[in-house]
Amino acid sequence: MAADVEILSRRGRVTRLALAVYGTLIYVFLFGPIVLLVLFSFNANRYGTFPVTAWTLKWYRAAVSDYQIHDAVATTLKVAGEVTAISVVVGTTAAFPLVRSRLRWRDGVRVGLVLPIMIPGLLIGVSLLVLFTGPLHWQLSPQTAVIGQSVYTTPFVILLVSARLQGFDRALERAAADLGANAFNRLRFVVLPLILPAIIAGALLAFTLSLDEFIITYFLIGTDITLPIFIYTQIKFGITPEVNALASMLLAASLLVLALAFALPQVIRASRRAVRFGTGRRAARITA
């Protein structure tokens, strides 16, 4: 496409410039609100006057020392941890037959398994509310919220892991069998190490989705609160700089996990490569 650019006419150059300006505006649109949110969490004036006249960290201090927020963080992390564990186990095991067994309705089953992604969370939330409080007579608690969130996050793990399995060279397993590995060893030494990046990415994704999930949790968690629910209830009373500070921290946390999700598989690969390179160079020296 570089050659394409060379031969552009004047009008082509104008188009190119216009689109570049447009692209930039899009990024301003995408990040502007988030940046402002973070900016205002440092604004000394409680009523968020514009322009900002003084900067402060007091809202962060206030947020960090709020015991209600401590409880919410604890609940959020506990729920996210459980959701991640369930999603990874259920999603990874389901991905195997989805990709590998001779399924008659493979496409149908796949759609069925990822349907919870396509259905609005609101419907998952209310239908589970009805199930738990109606026929099952379960007490709403963080555990019921965990079930609800897992319904929504597991399909993401299934998608990620099955995509990785799809590209998996079955000859590797046959080779392992040929070399004497039984089914368990094939899984442990060949399959799992190779799909590990997808499992990790799935786990981190499930974790972030759970951290931020609002509507399903809102219906199912009962009297406990998670961070999104805390923020939501605060918003009802109006915008406060404490919430801005809390929101900024939550944003930073989910960006961090996201960065991990992107980076970790590559880090794993890179560290393997580093091992190779170090030792590879040693081998080269020996030959030299």
DSSP 8-state symbol, 47: T
In the chain, the amino acid numbered 273 is R
| Closer by beta carbon to other proteins, 35 or else 57 | 35
- The reply on whether position 142 binds other proteins by CB under 8 A is no
Which residue among 57, 58, 68, 93 contacts other proteins (CB under 8 A)? 93
Which residue among 68, 139, 166, 182 contacts other proteins (CB under 8 A)? 182
Question: Which of 201, 191, 202, 197 has its CA nearest to residue 168?
Answer: 191
Which residue among 53, 55, 169, 237 contacts other proteins (CB under 8 A)? 169
154/269 Cα distance (integer angstroms): 25
Question: Which of 8, 171, 216, 207 has its CA nearest to residue 88?
Answer: 207
- The reply on whether position 137 binds other proteins by CB under 8 A is no
The percent helix, strand, coil of the chain (3-state, each to 5) is 80, 0, 20
**Least distance between other proteins and beta carbon 201 (Å):** 12
Q: Would you tell me how many other CB atoms lie within 10 Å of the CB of residue 49?
A: 10
| Closer by beta carbon to other proteins, 1 or else 54 | 1
Which residue among 142, 148, 202, 265 contacts other proteins (CB under 8 A)? 148
**Do the beta carbons of residue 201 and residue 265 sit within 8 Å?**
yes
**Least distance between other proteins and beta carbon 233 (Å):** 11
Tokens of 207: 């974790």
Q: Which residues from 25-64 bind other proteins, rule CB under 8 A? A: 26-27, 29-31, 33-34, 36-37, 40, 48, 50-51
**Least distance between other proteins and beta carbon 57 (Å):** 19
- The reply on whether position 222 binds other proteins by CB under 8 A is no
| Closer by beta carbon to other proteins, 78 or else 232 | 232
**Least distance between other proteins and beta carbon 7 (Å):** 10
| Closer by beta carbon to other proteins, 203 or else 247 | 247
- The reply on whether position 101 binds other proteins by CB under 8 A is yes
Query: Phi, psi at residue 55, to the nearest 5°?
Result: -110, 150
- The reply on whether position 89 binds other proteins by CB under 8 A is yes
Query: Phi, psi at residue 43, to the nearest 5°?
Result: -80, 125
| Closer by beta carbon to other proteins, 67 or else 120 | 120
- The reply on whether position 216 binds other proteins by CB under 8 A is no
**In Å, what is the CA distance from 149 to each residue of 39, 62, 86, 194, 244?**
31, 30, 10, 28, 25
> Largest Cα–Cα distance of the chain, in whole Å?
76
Question: Which of 144, 129, 125, 142 has its CA nearest to residue 75?
Answer: 142
Which residue among 74, 163, 255, 270 contacts other proteins (CB under 8 A)? 255
| Closer by beta carbon to other proteins, 139 or else 182 | 182
- The reply on whether position 138 binds other proteins by CB under 8 A is no
Which residue among 56, 141, 143, 254 contacts other proteins (CB under 8 A)? 254
Tokens of 17: 């410039």
Which residue among 97, 108, 139, 167 contacts other proteins (CB under 8 A)? 97
Number of H helices, E strands in the chain: 13, 0
- The reply on whether position 235 binds other proteins by CB under 8 A is yes
